[in-house]
Amino acid sequence: MYLITVFGNLLIILAIISDPHLHTPMYFFLSNLSFVDICFTSTTIPKMLLNIQTKSKVITYAGCITQMYFFMLFAALDDLLLSVMAYDRFVAICHPLHYMVIMNHRLCGLLVLMSVIIIVSLFYGTSLGVYLSSVATHNSYSSAIASVMYTVVTPMLNPFIYSLRNKDVKRALRSVLGRETRKGSIDWDRKSVH
């Protein structure tokens, strides 16, 4: 599931970057969401997989704090990017004639930058203190299942939900994958000739 998440989101980013038709605000936000999803799952899953392999649940205090910092950072950034994407769709639906004027490159960049900055301040202001001061006990098995659901399953499904149902992204992915296949077949043909 982790590999599907990483490669699926990387494919979306590659398709958006490589296709000039996808250089619009909606796809700019979508590529940022895919990047954040990769980072979000990469904060916890590799350590979890290592723990499963070594049958050890040990983590240092500094490692735990670092992991929680990035986990909360990317989780909140994910939520804010989804909010920005909702605003983008609102403008596209309610003000279609003014869409390109309202959602210009500068505003799109500022919206992503603001998301990165409503995250850092929130984290340092509240999240760390609340997390460290919490002493509530939970059922570890149900907590583990819930953790896997929102740290692995949701980021894995985001490329399918937001991208693969979109005909422009499908076309771009076919182009990227087709281009790679054609390069491979051309190289293979050259080798067979020699």
CATH number at residue 101: 1.20.1070.10
Selected residue with higher pLDDT from 181 and 38: 38
Which pLDDT belongs to residue 21?
86
Which pLDDT belongs to residue 188?
41
- Asked if the model's pLDDT at residue 64 lies above 80, the reply is yes
Which pLDDT belongs to residue 35?
93
Which residue range forms the structural domain that includes residue 123? 2-134+153-193
Q: Tokens 């984290």, residue? A: 123
Determine, yes or no, domain membership for 60: yes
Determine, yes or no, domain membership for 66: yes
Q: What is the DSSP letter of 102?
A: H
- Asked if the model's pLDDT at residue 132 lies above 60, the reply is no
Q: Which residues of 53-64 are buried (b: 16+ CB within 10 A; e: fewer)?
A: eeeeeeeeeeee
Looking at every residue in the chain, the average pLDDT score rounds to 76
Which pLDDT belongs to residue 184?
47
Determine, yes or no, domain membership for 38: yes
Determine, yes or no, domain membership for 20: yes
Determine, yes or no, domain membership for 148: no
Which pLDDT belongs to residue 189?
43
The residue-averaged pLDDT of 109-136 equals 61
* Region at 98 (left for phi over 0; alpha for psi -120 to 50; beta for the rest): alpha
- Please list, in sequence order, all residues whose beta carbon lies within 8 angstroms of the beta carbon of residue 45, skipping any fewer than 6 positions away: 2, 151, 152
CB 16 within 8 A of CB 96: no
Determine, yes or no, domain membership for 144: no
Q: What domain count does the chain have?
A: 1
Selected residue with higher pLDDT from 24 and 125: 24
d(CA 154, CA 179): 29
- Asked if the model's pLDDT at residue 182 lies above 90, the reply is no
The residue-averaged pLDDT of 9-36 equals 88
Which pLDDT belongs to residue 98?
87
Determine, yes or no, domain membership for 139: no
Selected residue with higher pLDDT from 158 and 40: 40
Selected residue with higher pLDDT from 186 and 44: 44
Determine, yes or no, domain membership for 57: yes
User: What percent of the chain is modeled with pLDDT above 90?
Assistant: 5
